[in-house]
Amino acid sequence: MLSYALRRIAVVLITLLAASAIVFAVLEIVPGDPARLMLGMNAGEDAIAALREQMGLNQPLLIRYFSWLGGLLSGDFGRSYTYSVPVIDLVRERLVVSLPLALMALFLSTAIAIPVGIFSASRRGTASDAGVMAATQLGIAIPNFWFALLLVYVFAVTLRLVPAGGFPGWQAGFWPALASLLLPAIALALPQAAILSRVTRSALLDVMGEDYIRTARAKGLPANIVLWRHALRNALIPVLTILGLQFSFLLAGTIIIENVFYLPGLGRLVFQAITQRDLIVVESVVVLLVATVIIVNFLVDLAYAWADPRLRRR
């Protein structure tokens, strides 16, 4: 187990290194001079040159890569070109929006999907099963940003129940802040819930087909008890895997939803940073998100290997 873990950690590190090099290299060829952008249309060439020097843009490529990488390892993500504050501060400010949003969406999607999946599985082959499955097909097909637009139109603009966009900040109060995350979380959660219900249903049906469940039923245990006590617990493993993947997806994939609702989250930070050529922010946040995905996958792998020793050989 330990040697397996070590091997996997080595692979994770190499993957992270490669990803950081790719991100850095891609952003190096971005057209657009950040110094010129900051000073604008009427700036003189000498002012731009002075600013480039200040920002350290005149140093050679490799030196900048390694100093950036060294910084990342020691927790120093560098300073944002446009905001001239440490990137880590920006990330922290945005994370208090994105993280609760992702968690809320994850919670909503789980709270919807698990009961729906169980319901559907327990009525396999009936009309209600078919109805639920058709609804999940629809859920998967709806673009979340379009759904978000409709939500804004109905609940914010027409009914005025919740804010249409923006984030008042947690200092404005817990409930107002939470309310402004509600619509985005619903928009994000819906397609995820549709996918998760299908996974839950098929995982349950798979487990129900296993021998030990058949044995339990043959012993005369009521179907409900079999479902709850045995099948559900075992079906949770694939469901949790999907949840793990969805979390990293939600954290990174909020970029469009954050744009619809004008939330100052991580996705929006990257989007703005790209257009403002604040490359150091783009680099750091993308690497951070990539690292999250890699680490979550690693933990899932590890959990699998722990549960099923046969997998360690691979």
Partner 1 sequence: MEEELIALEHEDWRHFTRKAFTNRSFLAGALITAVVVAVALFSFAWTPYDVTKLVIADRLQSPNAAHWFGTDHFGRDILSMIMVGSRNSIAVALIAVGIGIAVGVPLGCWAAAKRGLADEVLMRASDIVFAFPALLSAVMITAIFGPGIVNAIIAIGIFNIPVFARVARGGALALWPREFVLAARASGKRAGLITVQHILPNIANLLLVQGTIQFSLGILAEAGLSYVGLGTQPPAPSWGRMLFEAQTMMTIAPHMAIVPGLAIIVTVLGLNLLGDGLRDVLDPRLRRQR
Partner 2 sequence: MIPIIRSILAGAAFALALTTSAFAARTDLTLAIQLEPPHLDPTAGAAGAIDDVTYANIFQGLTRIGSNGAVQPDLAESWTLSDDGLVYTFKLHDGVKFHDGTALDAGDVVFSLDRARADDSTNAQKALFAAIESVEAVDDLTVKVTLSHPQGSFLYNMGWGDAVIVAPESADTNKEKPVGTGPFKFDTWAKGSSVTLVKNPDYWGDPVALDKATFRFISDPAAATSALMAGDIQAFPAFPAPEAVAQFESDPRFSVVIGSTEGETILATNNGKPPFDNLKVRQAIAHAIDRQAIIDGAMFGFGTPIGSHFAPHNPAYEELVETYPYDPEMAKQLLAEAGYPDGFKATLKLPPPSYARRGGEIVAAQLREVGIDLEIIPVEWAQWLDQVFKAKDYDLTIVSHTEPNDIGIYARDDYYFDYHNQAFKDVMAKLDATANEDERYALLRQAQEIIAKDAVNGYLFQLPKIGIWDAKLQGLWHDMPLQADDLTGVSWKD
Q: Under the rule (CB under 8 A), what is the footprint of partner 1?
A: 11, 14-15, 18-19, 22, 26-27, 29-31, 137-138, 140-143, 145-146, 149-150, 152-153, 157, 202, 206, 248-249, 252-253, 255-256, 259-260, 267, 270-271, 274-275, 282, 286, 289-290, 293-294, 297
Closest CA to 117 of 204, 200, 191, 193: 200
Ramachandran region, residue 308 (left: φ > 0; alpha: ψ -120 to 50; beta: rest): beta
Q: Which of 70, 131, 143, 173 binds partner 2 (CB under 8 A)?
A: 173
Distance between CA atoms of 180 and 261, rounded to whole angstroms?
9
**43 backbone dihedrals φ, ψ, rounded to 5°:** -70, 145
Distance between CA atoms of 48 and 38, rounded to whole angstroms?
9
By a kind-dependent CB cut-off of 5 to 8 A, residue 137 interacts, out of partner 2, partner 1, none, with partner 1
Distance between CA atoms of 143 and 187, rounded to whole angstroms?
9
By a kind-dependent CB cut-off of 5 to 8 A, residue 184 interacts, out of partner 1, partner 2, none, with none
Q: Considering beta carbons, is residue 139 or 163 the nearer one to partner 2? A: 163
Q: Considering beta carbons, is residue 146 or 212 the nearer one to partner 2? A: 146
The contact pattern for partner 2, residues 34-53, with x = CB under 8 A and - = no contact, is x-xxxxxxxxx-xx--xx--
How far apart are CB 10 and partner 2 at their closest, in Å?
Answer: 26
By a kind-dependent CB cut-off of 5 to 8 A, residue 145 interacts, out of partner 1, partner 2, none, with partner 1
How far apart are CB 295 and partner 1 at their closest, in Å?
Answer: 10
| 269 in contact with partner 2 (CB under 8 A) | yes
- For 65, 124, 238, 245, the CA distances from 216, given in Å and listed in that order, are 60, 19, 22, 32
Distance between CA atoms of 309 and 216, rounded to whole angstroms?
26
| 147 in contact with partner 2 (CB under 8 A) | no
What are the structure tokens assigned to 240, written together?
Answer: 């949790």
Helix and strand element counts for the chain (H, E) = 14, 0
By a kind-dependent CB cut-off of 5 to 8 A, residue 51 interacts, out of partner 2, partner 1, none, with partner 2
